Amino acid sequence: MVQCRICGGSVDEFFDFGRQPVSDSFVTPQTAGSEFFFRLAAGICTECTMVQLTEEVPREQMFHEDYPYRSAGSAVMHEHFEKYAHQLLQSELSGDDPFIVEIGSNDGTMLKTIGKAGVRHLGVDPSAQVGEFAKEEGVRVRTDFFEERSAREIAAADGPADVIFSANTTSHIAYIDSVFRGADAVLAPDGVFVIEDRYLASIMAQNAFDQIYDEHYYLLSVTSVRNMAARFGFELVDVEPLSVHGGSMRYTIARPGRRTVSGAVTEHVESERAAGLARPETYHRFARQVKESCAKLVELLTELREQGHSVVGYGATAKSATVINYCGIGPDLVPFICDSTPAKQGRLAPGTHIPVRPSAEFSKPYPDYALLFAWNHAEEIMAKEQEFRAAGGKWILYVPDVHVV
């Protein structure tokens, strides 16, 4: 039996996706087959209720020099982070000489606004390549992993932080105990540790099984984050639902007794209890739905191929690795995937080696169908690709179920 990385409790494994590649390992035709593979399986801790992977991928395999994700790649996410930066400037960062640390600062999309306001800041990200993008925007960056060691060094050099911010990063970090010890070392007595991440309740409600991949070591809920914070000497004081990424949650964590706990915390804990998010049987039912969805998706793609229809993928996302590898979708069913990220173009999707081409290829000519891997940006993408619809094109989605629009 696997032990929980947070509380040491037993983890009830509910799904095994089999042998999977690192999700962001987009290889060249020359290096195809060199991907790092691991067993992707998920379970729920029967004590603290944290949903987590049962096998950890070495962090150097996931977050490296060539890490291709860019926060600024989505106009929606750019606006989201800019708005929250202004919110912080008016609240937590409005005092005398405030200081903020961002864990997983990526290309500096959020900290750029903070820096322009003249506020002391530091982004901590292990990828030197994305760090260079941030530095070009005037963002101060430390190329490193955030953990107890680096946090103590930051505290010694810069003093206590009023805010530690982490968007879609904390769930990536299996060694979360070291992160909280780091937060304890650098966070000011009245400071806050703010985490944004995809919300487990939304994932379950949408049957969004592709949110389970190597980088998402933890799938967070209000209940599990409250338990996790308490385990490491902190307190969950507020939560705020967010629409980004198909449904996320912003968690505000503080030192015990320093902030009044919002009623929203209790409300969400109760709603999660009612939804069965603490019960293993809920996840075993989810696993059965995943198998059905994959079978239906492959059936649809096979039928379209046999009928002579053209199908391409849209959005070479990290989470698409789970879909194409578990379902066995290769170039025979999806000849290529269009993506706007230059670092992915000309490469092959991990595992099944579907070619990734520039977005301009999408209209040369338009396909009959587009399999939308970036479904969490569906509204933004469909508004952008209206000519595709005008040309008679149709979108294939698999969340919450397999359907054509």
Task: Kindly report the pTM of this predicted structure.
Answer: 0.92
Within 8 A by CB and 6+ apart from 295, the residues are none
343 inside domain: yes
- C-alpha 267/C-alpha 101 separation (Å) is 29
Q: State the sign of the Cα–Cα–Cα–Cα dihedral 96, 146, 168, 140.
A: positive
Q: In the structure encoding, which two tokens stand for residue 22, read together? A: 């690192």
Question: What residues pair up with 40 in beta bridges, in sequence order?
Answer: 18
The β-bridge relationship of strands 2-3 and 248-254 is: unpaired
270 inside domain: no
359 inside domain: yes
| Same-domain pairing of 255 and 310 | no
Angle subtended at Cα 198 by Cα 166 and Cα 267, rounded to the nearest 5 degrees: 100
CATH of the domain at 190: 3.40.50.150
Query: Domain boundary at 227, 260, 293, which?
Result: 260
| Same-domain pairing of 97 and 242 | yes
60 inside domain: no
| Same-domain pairing of 203 and 338 | no
Q: In the structure encoding, which two tokens stand for residue 344, read together? A: 């992915």
| Same-domain pairing of 157 and 45 | no
188 inside domain: yes
Domain count, the chain: 3
| Same-domain pairing of 104 and 248 | yes
- Phi and psi at residue 282, in whole multiples of 5°? -60, -40
Residue 387 CB coordination number (10 Å): 11
Q: Which of 204, 165, 4, 139 is nearest to 87 (CA)?
A: 165
Whether 238 and 265 have beta carbons less than 8 Å apart is answered as yes
| Same-domain pairing of 188 and 247 | yes
| Same-domain pairing of 75 and 102 | yes
* pLDDT of amino acid 142: 96
Whether 1 and 11 have beta carbons less than 8 Å apart is answered as yes
| Same-domain pairing of 48 and 75 | no
- C-alpha 162/C-alpha 43 separation (Å) is 35
- C-alpha 403/C-alpha 405 separation (Å) is 7
* pLDDT of amino acid 63: 62
Q: Which of 321, 324, 316 is nearest to 298 (CA)?
A: 324
| Same-domain pairing of 115 and 185 | yes
Q: Which of 361, 395, 364 is nearest to 378 (CA)?
A: 395
191 inside domain: yes
- C-alpha 163/C-alpha 181 separation (Å) is 15
| Same-domain pairing of 243 and 325 | no
The single-letter code of the amino acid at 245 is H
3-state secondary structure of 334: coil
Burial class (CB in 10 A: 0-12, 13-18, 19+), 52: buried
| Residue 46, phi-psi category: left (phi > 0), alpha (psi -120 to 50), beta (remainder) | alpha
379 inside domain: yes
Residue 95 CB coordination number (10 Å): 11
- C-alpha 9/C-alpha 335 separation (Å) is 44
Judge if the upstream peptide bond of residue 98 is cis by omega within 30 degrees of 0: no
Question: What residues pair up with 51 in beta bridges, in sequence order?
Answer: 44, 219
* pLDDT of amino acid 71: 58
36 inside domain: yes
Residue 386 CB coordination number (10 Å): 9
Measure CA 98 to chain center.
28
**Domain of 310, in residue numbers:** 281-404
| Same-domain pairing of 227 and 301 | no
CATH of the domain at 288: 3.40.50.720
Q: Which of 297, 382, 301 is nearest to 334 (CA)?
A: 301
Query: Domain boundary at 225, 260, 295, which?
Result: 260
Ranges under pLDDT 70 in the chain: 63-73
| Same-domain pairing of 11 and 140 | no
